[in-house]
């Protein structure tokens, strides 16, 4: 949606196909980091955007065994917004869509599921979709696969995927929130357990990290045992665990970390999760997808408008975004393998890793995770042109 907005704003005709009829899906990424808010500012949209309901988070606190500390403090970032905005993803997408609709070059078709690519002489020249009105064929100078981590586009393009693996899955659920509860997000690392609570105003969005593929064992132990476990991890909400009435209220996120070796083919480019599914560590998936969109628009808007986009242009998008993606995934894998795997395997008391002890001891070090989470590696800025909207 961000790339479509940027391209339409640059005078490129864009058709967005979305397989669902709306964006209302729960337990999607809901974090908008300072780098994304900076992009909204560069687009002149920030003030209006922040009028939508959201929660501001300036610090991420953690508790590792007996050690409580602030893991990341965004208040020193060199950005206009020194906080993470928590906002339902559908509000963000609807906002971008409405903004896109101001441009005559922007079209969106909901309930249109891409099913295959159209290839001629080895070049992708369009795609096929299933819509409520029947089959649809869209011809285009460039097809962008931005269809998420189960991307049909990347699969049909036959692009080769490098699986990086993850030792965990995440169970997501809600618990109600009371005014007397803490305001900042809570992250707890205990013997064999990792538990995260994100303040969503009237409720907590809770993430319970489990060893990969172990949900069936957890279910076999019974809902009551799970509730007790949650109550121990969040004592202030202990009586609210009754709100978990059955396993259907607890959704499973199967964690997947991968990336394409090559993000493009003649006539086709993948970005966002379709090019690289990110680990939930740091909650950076949305922001890295937005950064891809900005980089792609910067490099492709003019060649697309002049209908002279080449493989070299597509390669440049990959070159621009591959390094930040690899660096982010490298840090995520280090946290997964050195911290998360260790905590999940260890039934006894856990001792914080040296990095966490140092951050707890020297608070200025909180700026490092804040920068990695809040800005990421090599943040992008909007340079794509604007044509006047109607
Ligand atoms: C449970 C969960 C929690 C997460 N939490 C966070 C978080 O807190 N912070 C964070 O930054 N990231 C989080 N993420 C990751 C984040 O949601 C993704 O990294 C990010 O949304 C990727 O953006 P994207 O545009 O590449 O793909 P997506 O957001 O997945 O968007 C793909 C879009 O394409 C549509 N689509 C899919 N297939 C087709 C098709 N065949 N035809 C047409 N349309 C199609 C989908 O309906 C969807 O709207 C979370 C992910 C999950 C699953």
When comparing pLDDT for 265 and 193, which is higher? 265
Q: Quick check: 108 pLDDT over 70?
A: yes
Question: Is 20 close to ligand 1, i.e. is its CB under 6 Å away?
Answer: yes
Atom from ligand 1 closest to the CA of residue 31: 9
Residue 137 pLDDT greater than 60, yes or no: yes
Indicate left, alpha or beta for 331 from its phi (over 0: left) and psi (-120 to 50: alpha): alpha
Computed on alpha carbons and rounded to an integer, the radius of gyration of the chain in Å comes to 22
Residue owning tokens 């209302």: 24
Q: What is the pLDDT of residues 4-52, one digit of tens each?
A: 999 999 999 999 999 999 988 766 778 999 999 999 999 999 999 999 9
Is the shortest distance between the CB of 380 and ligand 1 below 6 Å? no
* Strand-pair category, 59-64 with 186-190: parallel
Residue 343 pLDDT more than 90? no
Q: Which residue has the tokens 């086709």?
A: 268
- Which pLDDT score is estimated for 125? 98
Q: Give, for ligand 1, the residue of 84, 168, 210, 273 to mutate: max count of ligand atoms closer than 8 Å to Cβ.
A: 273
Sign of the torsion formed by the C-alpha atoms of 208, 362, 371 and 340? negative
What pTM was estimated for this model as a whole? 0.94
Residue nearest to ligand 1 atom 14, measured at CA:
29
Indicate the top mutation candidate among 280, 329, 372, 375 to test ligand 1's pocket, ranked by most ligand atoms within 8 A of CB. Answer: 280
């Amino acid at each position: 949606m961000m790339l479509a907005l940027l391209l339409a704003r640059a005078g490129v005709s864009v058709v967005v196909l979305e397989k669902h009829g709306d964006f209302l899906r729960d337990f999607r990424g809901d974090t908008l980091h300072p780098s994304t808010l900076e992009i909204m500012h560069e687009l002149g949209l920030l003030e209006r955007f922040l009028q939508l309901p959201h929660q501001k988070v300036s610090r991420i606190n953690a508790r590792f065994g007996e050690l409580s500390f602030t893991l990341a403090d965004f208040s020193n970032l060199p950005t206009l917004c020194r906080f993470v905005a928590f906002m339902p993803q559908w509000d963000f997408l609807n906002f971008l869509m409405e903004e896109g609709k101001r441009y005559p070059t922007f079209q969106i078709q909901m309930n249109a599921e891409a099913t295959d690519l159209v290839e001629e002489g080895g070049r992708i020249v369009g795609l096929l979709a299933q819509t409520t009105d029947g089959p649809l064929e869209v011809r285009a100078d460039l097809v962008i696969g931005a269809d998420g981590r189960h991307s049909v586009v990347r699969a049909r393009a036959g692009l080769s995927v490098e699986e990086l693996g993850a030792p965990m899955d995440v169970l997501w659920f809600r618990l109600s929130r009371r005014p007397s509860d803490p305001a900042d997000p809570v992250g707890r690392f205990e013997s064999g357990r990792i538990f995260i609570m994100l303040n969503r105003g009237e409720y907590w969005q809770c993430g319970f990290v489990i060893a990969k593929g172990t949900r069936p064992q957890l279910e076999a132990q019974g809902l009551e045992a799970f509730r007790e476990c949650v109550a121990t991890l969040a004592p202030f909400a202990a009586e609210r665990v009754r709100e978990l009435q059955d396993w259907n209220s607890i959704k499973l996120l199967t964690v997947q970390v991968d990336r394409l070796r090559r993000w493009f083919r003649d006539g086709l480019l993948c970005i966002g999760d379709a090019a690289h599914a990110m680990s939930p560590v740091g909650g950076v998936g949305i922001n890295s997808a937005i950064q891809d969109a900005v980089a792609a628009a910067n490099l492709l808007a003019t060649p697309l408008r002049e209908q002279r986009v080449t493989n070299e242009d597509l390669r440049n998008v990959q070159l621009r975004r591959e390094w930040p993606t690899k660096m982010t995934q490298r840090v995520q894998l280090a946290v997964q393998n050195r911290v998360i795997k260790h905590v999940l395997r260890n039934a006894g008391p856990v001792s914080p890793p040296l990095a966490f002890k140092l951050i707890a001891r020297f608070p200025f070090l909180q700026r490092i995770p804040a920068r990695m989470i809040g800005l990421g590696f090599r943040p992008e800025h909007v340079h794509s042109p604007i044509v006047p909207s109607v």
